Structure 1
Amino acid sequence: MTDSDVRLIDMTLRDGMHAVDHQFTPEQMADVASALDEANMDVVEVSHGDGMGGSSINYGFAAADTEAYLDAVVPELTDTRLSVLLLPGIGTVEELDLAVEKGADMCRIATHVTEADVSAEHFEFVEERGLEANGLLMLSHMASPETVLEQAKLMEEYGAEAVYVMDSAGAMLPQDVRERVGLLSEELSIDVGFHAHNNLGLGIGNTLAGIEAGATTVDGCLRGLGAGSGNAQMEVLVGVLEKAGYDVSPDFFGVMDAAEDVLLPMLTDDTMPELDNDSLVLGYAGVYSSFLRHTRRVGEQFDLDPREILVELGDMGVVGGQEDMITDVAARMAGDDKAATADSEADD
């Protein structure tokens, strides 16, 4: 931890990779990292959007490999620490060793909110290599606060120095955040973090709610760049926290300049985060953004409103990797609609 009230981790070069189809070049990453270091950012995370090893046909090929990105970023960081992301089943020990060799300070290990038990060996690997290990519980809105706590305790037992409540689909309301973060803050002996997405327009508000409930480390991205409608916008977050009286390390104007002068020229209209109807319905339904494109296609096939399909999928509690269920759900919904129409005609 820093001496600040709140540690800020900038995800522009990791979660922001989703928004640019993982196409940041090493040179662009170096420029962003340099600007964030100059602004005294606490931590910068660098990885494919789906973590080390994510560059693949399944998750999208990045413009360069992990080694090239780390080689570009590490020389630009002086006081700012470097984090990498590892998802069990995607990242490997070899990639973790590479990150250690290149100078990473932290590794954040992410699992689905009910699957912390798959991360035990990964925490052991990280601890053996002397890195700070944080645990991330993705899609935390899909589990009750008590279940989130149970899973967080497993990560604490495995060696996590902090556990994050991740609002991966941007589906939480402030009260949802307070309940989960507050319970973890009361019951864990380690730090608690929060990671927001802005699909309901609550990225900053939910982050504040998390901090008020006890989170001491939170995430954001320059310009809010990230999956869906993006993450909490870092330059806004720094300014809001200062106005609220919190002590933070990053320089407000410096972070503003990093966003405006360095990142913005790299972006296009297609990559700028936007709270549009697509991301709004994803947040409303609590469904991860990977379902959107497939749901649109299936909606056309069955002549259904894709928004209705997404809400049904959200009610079912689908998670990443279950995209193959979309067609079955749409077929059932189309059949139900036909049956309802037939019943109505019979009544007439």
Structure 2
Amino acid sequence: MEHADNNSVHLLECTLRDGSYAVDFQFTRSDTALLTGVLAGLGFKYIEIGHGLGLGAARGGKGLMPDTDADLIAAAAPASGDSLIGMFCIPGLATLDDLRLAADSGLDFVRVGENAPDSENAHQFLEQARKLGLKVAMNFMKSYAVSPEEFGVRARAAREHGAEIIYLVDSVGGMRSKDVAEYIDSAMAQAPGEMGFHGHDNLRLAVSNCLTAFEQGARYLDTTLYGLGRGAGNAPTEALAALFDLEGVDTGVDVVEVLEAAENHMWPLMSRFNVPDIMGTAMGYGQFHSSFFPKVREAAVRHDADPKRLVIAMGRIDPVHLDPDVLEREAAALAGTACGDRNQKLVSFGDDTFAGHRINTSAKAVRDLAEALHTTCAKRRNAIPVLEIRPAADPNSKILASEFVKEGPNYVLGRVVIDSVEAGAEVIEACRDKVSMFLFDISPRQGLGPMMRELSERSGHPVYPVDALAARDAFLVSAIESAGGDSVLLWGGDGSLAWKLDGHGIFQQMAWRGANIELPAGVAVIREASELALLAMRPSVVVCREAPGAEQAASMARVLATDGALMDACPAPSEALRDAAGDAYVRLDCRGAYDGLVSSVLGAAGQMSDWRKA
């Protein structure tokens, strides 16, 4: 179906409304004022703000906002310039009084939303909005729940009650281009006038469906920057602006300016979100609305059912409502279909040379390690390759050893042990094109600061000092003290933990089994776990830094207090401890200390870099 007037279109910008789902409805007054000003300055005529579910939704328990509807309108209005500010409105969540208050606060347009099979519930709100002088749209949520013919009939009724714009709404992103064409054609035939389309991207068709809607006569298309929105998101504003510009269709905005605004203002937020997942695709395929997913997920867990199969089944049974009895029946029918854990092999450190965290002593292994760190980070979102350079504890040793250490939340870490500044400089030279950050561990022995400075100067590359030993101890202290109780047994180590725990004063009794070293007063020294009975001590926490034999592990388990924790902090997990402790066994991987350590260095380095640039 061809339509005249193909030279312009309104991109109704609803980042602040539909995008609010993605941030748990936490766009504030200042956020609203800022982004409204940006969007208005770009030339968007229609800007929708507020709670994702519209007026009164926060009051109705659908997700709290930091500010009221009226506050957000008041924040947007001064920044809007010639643009119009609108909000969503769902009868039942919103009241007619909410509409009046919004209009009095300066609202310019409202979109009344109701599930398509129940669209008559919106008629009173449409009439009231027109009386208040608002521009009014009727959004037929879950439009696909009625046939194209019925959609046209309901569109005509909505127009008769005051709707100026009729919106086809693909709430789950499951409609195809031919569906969009059929529904809009039906509405245009039975209720001619202004049309709009709101799509989601579950099947990656949001942009394509918007283009189809335009071809069929819709001149209002909902978009959000970067496609930020509920579920799988919406049609990206910047993509549609670019496509229409290429077709010679006027959107009222400059594409490059939109791209710059999106990057400058939204990317810091968008970079925190993951790409749409497979569940979103399953929802689009089954025409299942994401608002029901929490209940489906619970049912899937109860029955060990695959939630993807369950949402598809439930959406095809009823795309509008969720019947609890039907849900239980379908979940039971899918019992045992749940998938296991996701396979992390593609994004994990995969160099077999370093499998099992083996130490390699060849010079070539250093370069191989850097290559593997780089490759792993390329497949992990926002991760950087980090190499820790650790001087040998004995300055007279002749050693160059490399090992993989840890995959963290924003880094992948390897370690190289060196015996000299020359060796360290060679390591940096060999790895500088693959490694983003070099750390220098100052903890192996005293007086390593000058060595680090010389290494940085000689290599011409920044090297950041870290105290890995202190970070490890802080990690262990946090774990030990969070376990609770009033007594602790420390099995092995260098004694530093005893001093730190004693200084905090949380434990009333402390015992030590290890080398003959200076310890805080009051720390009992033992040789066997069974000696604790002589001290009338049943430790709440036992921390093993050295692997005990089976007999000693069994003794520890026997003397451990009820509900106590037997913590395995050995370099490698101790089977003897695991077998003896049962449910009391806790594996403490001290490499977890690097999560905080690397993040701290990254933060400090970033601030110093900003200072130098200034």
The TM-score normalised by the length of structure 1 is 0.90
- Residues 65 and 3 of structure 1: CA distance in aligned 2, closer, same or farther (over 3 Å): farther
2:171 aligned partner: 168
Conserved? CA contact 1:46–1:84, under 8 Å: yes
**What is the identity, as a one-letter code, of the residue corresponding to 2:296?**
T
Helix, strand or coil at the partner of 1:178: helix
Q: What residue is the counterpart of 1:285 in the other structure?
A: 286
Q: CA deviation at 1:335?
A: 7.8
1:113 partner amino acid: A
Q: Which residue matches 1:343?
A: none
CA distance in 2, matches of 1:129, 1:77: 20
1:314 aligned residue: 315
Does 1:305 pair with 2:285?
no
Q: Is the 8 A contact 1:198 1:231 kept in 2?
A: yes
Q: Are the counterparts in 2 of residues 165 and 193 from structure 1 also a CA contact under 8 Å?
A: yes
How far apart, in 1, do the equivalents of 2:326 and 2:68 lie? 32
Give the % identical residues. 29
Aligned to 1:333: 333
Amino acid at match of 2:222: D
8 Å contact kept, 1:161–1:190:
yes
Q: State the SS of the aligned residue for 1:114.
A: helix
CA distance in 2, matches of 1:215, 1:110: 18
> Contact 2:282–2:311 at 8 Å: present in 1 too?
yes
Q: Which amino acid aligns with 1:319?
A: V
Q: Is the 8 A contact 2:141 2:169 kept in 1?
A: yes
SS at match of 1:235: helix
- The answer to which structure, 1 or 2, has the higher relative contact order (CA under 8 A, 6+ apart) is 1
How far the C-alpha of 1:257 sits from its partner, in A, is 2.3
1:215 and 1:318 map into 2 onto residues whose CA distance is 24
Alpha-carbon shift at residue 290 of structure 1 (Å): 1.3
Would the alpha carbon gap of residues 281 and 91 (structure 1) be closer, same or farther in structure 2, given more than 3 Å must change? Answer: same
Q: Deviation digits for residues 16-54 of structure 1, max 9, x if unmatched?
A: 111111011111111111110110002000121001111
Provide the residue aligned with 2:69 in structure 1: 66
Q: Distance in 2 between matches of 1:56 and 1:99?
A: 15
Report the counterpart of residue 31 of structure 1 in structure 2: 34
CA contact (8 A) 1:294 1:323 kept: no
Question: For the aligned residues, what is the CA RMSD?
Answer: 2.1
Q: Which runs of 5+ in 2 are unaligned?
A: 338-614
Q: Matched residues in 1 for 2:211 and 2:23: separation? A: 27
CA offsets 1:110-140 (integer angstroms, 9 cap, x no match): 1101111111111111011111111000111
1:105 lines up with 2:108 in the alignment: yes
2:243 alignment counterpart? 240
Q: Which residue matches 1:345?
A: none
Larger radius of gyration: 2
**Structure 1 CA distance for aligned equivalents of residues 325 and 159 of structure 2:** 33
2:128 maps to which residue? 125
Q: Give the aligned length.
A: 333
Residue matched to 2:205? 202
Measured against aligned partners, the alpha-carbon deviations of 1:63-98 in whole angstroms (never above 9, x if no partner) come to: 221122111111100111111111011111222122
**Structure 1 runs not aligned, ≥5 long:** 338-348
Q: 2:594: which partner in 1?
A: none
* Equivalent in the alignment of 2:532: none
- Residue 156 (structure 1) shift: 0.8
Q: Which amino acid aligns with 2:294?
A: R
* Aligned amino acid, residue 36 of structure 2: A
Secondary structure in 1 aligned to 2:117? coil
How far off its partner does 1:191 sit?
0.7
Residue pair 1:222, 1:258 contacting (<8 A) in 2 also: no
Structure 1 residue 253 displacement after superposition: 2.1
